[in-house]
A and B are shown apart, each in its own frame.
Chain A
Amino acid sequence: MEMIQELRLKREFKKVFNIRVLRGFLSIVMFVVLWQLVVFIKVPYLENLPYPKDVAAGAADAAGSRTYWFGWGISLIRIFVGFIMAQLIGIPLGLAMGISRTFKDFTFPVFEMLRPIPPIAWIPLAILFWPTRELSIYFLVFIGAFFIIVINVIQGVSNISVSLKWAASSLGARPKHIFWRILVPGSLPSIITGMTVGMGVTWNVLIAAEMIAGQGGLGRMTWEAYTNNNIPFIVVGMVSIGVAGYLCSTLVRWLGEKAMPWKKRF
């Protein structure tokens, strides 16, 4: 037992400290050095770029300010409200469209008509339509994730092998068993894919919406840094948005792994 544990530790160690990780680290270092160089020799069109150390100082300032963390909070709330609403409505809708041909015939054409419209194109209508700016941003985030999740769930249901349904019914399963124990878990991989992709899109939509219509939030903060000509803070805002998006995607992936233990080998 102990030996196995030791081996496992060694393996974990190797996973963290190996040549590829080192190369990855070096690539970041090289990027920062190149950045420094570009600013230092004043490459045309890039002469307004701040030095890495200015950005670092801006980041340190931001980390100490309450408004910065407020921005994070506001953006995250918007993401989660819109995203979760999209799942709550989109997953059942997708399941229904995947299961019932009649229902799909009635709903899918309209769905396919609206789906190609980029979420950002909804901004003017959303602002007019919803009573508050906050609600219109929730709505836009919702749109960003909604179509993707629905289309993935439909795909997921249709990908379930008919032999699994046959096997279940031959074992005595009734429609409710087939729904909860075959169709739902069977479409879960596609649901998770839809959520992962949707999460990426919602961040795009959110930032655009915040820049155009928002009060507060990371997108708005970045935009305000631009209007104040605070270039280091623009970069801080951009990096923050990147980090926030990454964290949200990681969360979805983690949820996916938890929800689908059968996908993990050994």
Chain B
Amino acid sequence: MSNRNGEGVLSKGDFGEVRLEGVTKVYEKADQSQRVLDECTFSVERGKLTVLMGPSGCGKTVLINLVAGYERPTSGRILIDESPVDGPGSDRLVVFQETALFPWMTVYSNVIFGCQVQGVSRGETKERAGHILKKVGLYEFRDKYPSQLSGGMQRRAELARAMINDPKIMILDEPFRGLDAMTRQLMQEFYVGLFEEIGRTNLFVTHEIDEAIFLADRVVILTFQPGKVKAEIEIDLPRPREFHMLASPRFMEIREQVIDLLYEEASKAFAAGSKAAYDLMGAIVARKGACEKCE
């Protein structure tokens, strides 16, 4: 288990649980309909980090939008602590693929936005903002605008903006996409550290195998078009996670398993001509590398 933040500044420790029951999403376009998600059933456990994986085009982002409440499922239910999702709410926070920081606000204004619109008192807002900005290492940069920050800093600012609201559930949609390899690794380490400290319920979407295994308590793999739950894998690597684990035998074992599961889906995506082709090539190369190390 993760140790909770003692002072309760970062979190009151009131986390939620998400349950998807037979969630199906069909898009009707003119005379054709596309089934994006098909009977998805799984849960995002309380205080755990669940990673959702699948080739590009398997409906990960759609699933996120449903859980966030931006869109509604065609059939099935999404429950948060047993109550059905009905539109967006501040109990769930989404960190988007591309940065969704407000470009016209300084880092500080971005971070306190949630507090302001929810009418949190000035004193408390200031205290929480100061604490959280120090936590993500952006206190010195609080008066900068997002465009003046590096990619990694922008993501950290976004994490801070999300965390200040102390959401019951945090949803992250490929938040480290587009960062260079080194920054990405540092961000993963930073993020997993934050998670282990606070222990919030997290739903994290990625198509990077290493990232998924390194972060997750559990990996949920979706199939390619339509997205169905193909497998759920418990990741039993010990916490706190550290980077040398990426080379541990257990990690390799899990990785092989995940690649096998993903391989078929990625092939389908490849055949369908999506940009998942790139992911597939990546997976094959990684698999070869992994096998050589095993031998």
A residues within 8 Å of B by Cβ?
A: 161, 163-164, 166-174, 177, 181-182, 185-186, 188, 260-262, 265-266
Contact = CB atoms under 8 A, between A and B. Distances in A.
A166 B100 contact: yes
Contacts of A261: 145
Given A166-B96, A171-B161, A185-B104, 6 more contacts: A170-B92, A170-B94, A172-B90, A173-B117, A181-B105, A260-B104
Interface in B47-86: 68, 70
Contacts of A171: 90, 93, 113-114, 117-118, 161-162, 165
Nearest to A260: B104
A116 B96 CA distance: 41
B6 interface: no
Contacts of B94: 166-167, 170
Interface of A is mostly: helix
A177 B117 CA distance: 7
B113 A173 contact: yes
Nearest to B98: A163
Interface of B: 68, 70, 88-90, 92-94, 96, 98, 100, 102-105, 113-114, 117-118, 145-148, 161-162, 165
B100 A174 contact: no
B90 A265 contact: no
Contact of B90 (A170, A181, A185, A266): A170
Contacts of B148: 265-266
A83 to B, nearest CB: 24
Best-buried of A170, A174, A262, A266 by chain B (most CB within 10 Å) = A170
B147 A262 contact: yes
A164 B68 CA distance: 14
Contacts of A167: 94, 96, 100, 102
Contacts of A161: 98, 100
Contacts of B90: 170-172
B190 to A, nearest CB: 21
B145 A262 contact: yes
Contacts of A174: 117
Nearest to B95: A167
Nearest to B97: A163
Contacts of A166: 68, 70, 88, 94, 96, 100
Nearest to B94: A170
A168 B113 contact: yes
A172 B165 contact: yes
A67 B43 CA distance: 81
A188 B88 contact: no
A36 B259 CA distance: 80
A164 B161 CA distance: 13
A76 B20 CA distance: 65
Contact of A170 (B68, B98, B105, B146): B68
Contacts of A181: 102, 105, 113, 117
A255 to B, nearest CB: 15
Nearest to A178: B117
Contact of A188 (B96, B104, B165): B104
23 contacts: A163-B98, A164-B100, A164-B102, A166-B68, A166-B94, A167-B96, A167-B100, A168-B113, A170-B68, A170-B88, A170-B92, A171-B113, A171-B117, A171-B118, A171-B165, A172-B90, A173-B113, A181-B113, A181-B117, A261-B145, A262-B105, A262-B146, A266-B148
Best-buried of A169, A174, A266 by chain B (most CB within 10 Å) = A169
A261 B148 CA distance: 12
B200 to A, nearest CB: 15
Contacts of B103: 262
A260 to B, nearest CB: 7
* Across the A-B interface, the 4 shortest Cβ-Cβ residue pairs: A172-B90, A171-B114, A167-B100, A185-B104
Given A161-B100, A164-B100, A166-B100, A172 B117 contact: yes
Contacts of B68: 166, 170
Nearest to A266: B148
